Copies of this chain bind each other. A is one copy, B any other.
Amino acid sequence: MLTLTDSEIEKQYFMKDAIKDTLALFNKLEQEQIIVEHRTVIEMPNTHNAMLYMPCLDLKEKLGTIKVISIFPDNPKVNLSTTQGKILITELETGQHKAIIDASYLTRLRTGALSGIATDYLSRKDSRVLGVIGTGGMAFEQVLGILEVRNIEHIYLFNRTFKKAQLFKEKLQDFGINVEISVTQDVQEVVQQSDIINCATRSNEAVFNAKDLKEGTHINGVGSYQPSMREIDINAIKKSSKIVFDDIGGAQTEAGEFIQAEKEGHFSFGSTYGDLQQLVLHKINGREDETETTIYKSVGAAHFDLAVGIGVFKKLFS
């Protein structure tokens, strides 16, 4: 049984790989080569803890995965991550279990890859300024995803805790990202300057004001994964011409500000523009003019984990 830790994967499997493998997934989905089962959730009584089990098969690669995630919201109190995941990889010619690999980096990476792909279709080609709102756990790979698809010259960083945004800047520089990076305590400045805005927060209210948006901005939202959460200003939802989800079914039960916008009559999941798969397979158009406001909203789904889990396995072991 092969094993890989997050840090071993980080050294060998990169954003470029994740984007390639995720794009390939959409074709396999279209060709019905992917089997996704409903996830099993076990909530532990008298706690806020839960165990999630997400099995998925790739019939083309003849590899199956199950991601097992523990979600323990009190973990940060003891300096542990809230979520801890493993992906078990099974070869489907003979059913042999081949590898078990850490899933934390991969989950962040595939989320960043999906934002990158969405941004490639939806943002202006000449986008130069990226605004990052929320520099927590998911943000780093979000930036990597955007840098992979656009020639970004300037990144603005905003975080509720200023110090963390400064550390995030250092992390980007240490990684070798050689663009201008400004850390600011003024979220309005971020929004007014940016061509692309990435939100990755756990906020319960909008983290920016839609009035500050430049014409033609593209927004990525990867926070707001519970109905009570808000991150993207509902007025930005109202003024957007194209809203694309990674998984519309998942968004309907999880994407807080969109659920709220639907309740208030400003938006409807039933008549939404489409999902990332449609975008990648050219069933719907990407950006059509320079003035559109566009949004990509991500909540995650098991087959995205499958794509990168199998990608790692194929790159490293076969």
Binding site for B on A (CB under 8 A): 1, 3, 5, 35, 37-38, 40, 42, 44-45, 49, 51, 53, 55, 57, 59, 64, 66, 68, 70-72, 75, 78, 80, 83-86, 88, 90, 92, 94-97, 100
Residues from chain B with a CB closer than 8 A to the CB of A94 are: 70, 72, 75, 78, 80, 84
- A–B pairs, 10, beta carbons within 8 Å: A1-B3, A1-B100, A40-B55, A49-B92, A49-B95, A51-B64, A53-B55, A70-B97, A75-B94, A84-B96
User: A205 to B4, alpha carbons, bound, how many Å?
Assistant: 48
Cβ-defined contact, B80 with A96, below 8 A: yes
Task: Compute how far the CA of A262 lies from the CA of B71 in the bound complex, rounded to whole angstroms.
Answer: 45
Name the B residues within 8 Å of A97 (CB-CB).
Answer: 68, 70, 84-86
B57 contacts A40, C-beta separation under 8 Å? no
Q: For the complex, what is the distance from the CA of A37 to the CA of B42, rounded to whole Å? A: 8
Cα A1 to Cα B103 with chains together (Å): 13
Instruction: Please indicate the chain B residues that have their CB under 8 angstroms from the CB of A95 in the complex.
Output: 49, 51, 70-72, 75, 80, 83-84
A40 touches B59 (CB 8 A): no
The answer, among B68, B72, B80, for a CB contact under 8 Å with A66, is B68
- Distance of A35 Cα from B85 Cα, bound (Å): 20
Residues of chain B contacted by A72 (CB below 8 angstroms): 94-95
Interface centre among A37, A66, A75 (most CB of B within 10 A): A66
A42 B53 Cβ-Cβ under 8 A: no
